[in-house]
Amino acid sequence: MSDAEEVDGYIFQWSGGSGRAVITCQQVFEQDGQMYATIQFARSNGGTSAYTQVKALGQTVTGDNTFSIPVNIGENTPIQALTTAMSQPHWIDYVLYIAKSDGSDGTDGKSAADDTLDDSAPAITGLTALPAEGENNVHSDLVRLFPYEDDVWLIEVDMVKDTARENADEKKTSSAGEANEASDSAEMSDAFGNMEESAGDVATDVGSTSSVYTKKIVKYLVVPEDFDVPAGLDKQMVIIRRPADRTFVTSPEALKIISALDRTEDIIAVGIDAKDIDDSDVKAALNKKDGEDGKIYQAGTFSDWDLKTLILKKANLAVESSKILPRKEDTANQDMQAFEKMVSHAEQMDMPLFVDRSADEMDTLAKADWYRVYGVLFDAEDMGESLSHETAGDN
């Protein structure tokens, strides 16, 4: 768990800002019945920050990058921090999550492995895993599905198995890493030449999420609409907030499953040739007039999205064909670059990118798992469960 810190018997995680600053926790303590945390801001490249005030739980605390503030335990604490690094002081929003680290989260304390699928629900800070079902339904080597309390689910997808990346020696993702490292002085000099543009956080908008997508196992946390996601989780996994009711589908196989689940009304756009679509409702929706209720739009192809349409139609989930994954060794680098560019687009559009690997399943039992996965994504769990059993040939 990359950003979780342990201090005084508590786990500390945080979200927010734009990647330029990092927050660490020095101490967690109680005072007059209220819990406090001493937090410190620093530049992620090691330089000094310039935060002078923090607002938390109704209190405003002054300081010099270090602040002792009141905090919630076991739930998010939203804060605002004032930076005077540029000519105009700016308040920046962050969220902190602090919880006791005694493993009271309903799992056996095992933390999620980074490069293999979990066999049982991994420990996730701030969440409680539900007990595993009696029989082990899992057959797929490409996807896993785990339930948590509060109607939260974890989907894990293996992005590397049966692709050109499987045996490759994975280097650090180049585009995300190096592009961000504008040195302080280059930044300040551009800042002088470009005043208000540089006020506030100057960081590039590629936070750590893109590195989430390039991990071997990509984790998707599916949460209910108003769920308060514990801070810091967005650095480890892709958050999909239900309902995913404006979905963009470029995988014909996923479309078939969504169709079987009777959830095609949650689709706003497709990147699939009409001749590869069987569902008559979807075909009819494609033929509707622009702006007509229930219209489904053609929005490019799996490798070439029609960004304008997706933005204007406010697509909120992409179910992407696994054809986007690198298959051949000699084109693996270009393929990964194309994938990363697609991820960058998706992030900027606030649209989670879910890669459908149901088409890559060799056997029916493994394929059956995907009915449950899409059942969860599209709020049709019962249907997903029963179709899964049906497909697997269970009675």
Phi and psi dihedrals of 263, rounded to 5?
Answer: -120, 25
Q: Are strands 304-305 and 300-301 parallel, antiparallel or unpaired?
A: antiparallel
Q: Which of 21, 86, 96, 272 binds other proteins (CB under 8 A)?
A: 86
Given the complex with other proteins, which of 311 and 392 has the nearer CB atom? 311
Using rule CB under 8 A, residue 288 touches other proteins: no
Number of residues that bind other proteins (CB under 8 A): 45
Given the complex with other proteins, which of 35 and 199 has the nearer CB atom? 199
C-alpha dihedral, 100 to 106 to 108 to 113, nearest 10°:
-80
Question: Distance (Å, rounded) from C-alpha 205 to C-alpha 221?
Answer: 22
Q: Are 199 and 86 in contact (CB under 8 A)?
A: yes
Q: Which of 130, 199, 239, 338 binds other proteins (CB under 8 A)?
A: 199
Supply the minimum distance, in Å, between the C-beta of residue 382 and other proteins: 35
Enter the DSSP assignment of 164: T
Supply the minimum distance, in Å, between the C-beta of residue 216 and other proteins: 23
Q: Which of 205, 262, 273, 363 binds other proteins (CB under 8 A)?
A: 205
Contact characters 155-194, other proteins, x per CB under 8 A:
------------------------x--x--xxxxxxxxxx
Taking CB atoms within 8 Å and a gap of at least 24, the contacts of 136-140 are: 137/369, 137/372, 137/388, 138/369, 139/363, 139/365, 139/366, 139/368, 139/369, 139/392, 140/361, 140/366, 140/367, 140/369, 140/370
Q: Which of 63, 70, 78, 89 binds other proteins (CB under 8 A)?
A: 89
Q: Are 87 and 202 in contact (CB under 8 A)?
A: no
Q: Which of 2, 45, 48, 331 binds other proteins (CB under 8 A)?
A: 48
Supply the minimum distance, in Å, between the C-beta of residue 352 and other proteins: 17
Using rule CB under 8 A, residue 270 touches other proteins: no
Given the complex with other proteins, which of 168 and 203 has the nearer CB atom? 203
Given the complex with other proteins, which of 125 and 211 has the nearer CB atom? 211
Binders of other proteins in range 317-356 (CB under 8 A): 341, 344-345, 347-349
Six-digit token string for 382: 């019962």
Using rule CB under 8 A, residue 283 touches other proteins: no
Given the complex with other proteins, which of 16 and 252 has the nearer CB atom? 16
C-alpha dihedral, 339 to 342 to 343 to 349, nearest 10°:
-170
Given the complex with other proteins, which of 193 and 393 has the nearer CB atom? 193
Of the candidates 312, 308, 283, the one whose C-alpha atom is nearest the C-alpha of residue 296 is 283
Q: Please confirm whether the linkage preceding 243 is cis (ω < 30° from 0).
A: yes
C-alpha dihedral, 204 to 208 to 209 to 213, nearest 10°:
120
Using rule CB under 8 A, residue 45 touches other proteins: no
Q: Which of 62, 84, 331, 337 binds other proteins (CB under 8 A)?
A: 84
Beta bridge partners, 157, equal 143, 218
**What is the binding site for other proteins (CB under 8 A)?**
18, 47-50, 84-89, 179, 182, 185-200, 202-206, 307-308, 311-312, 314, 341, 344-345, 347-349
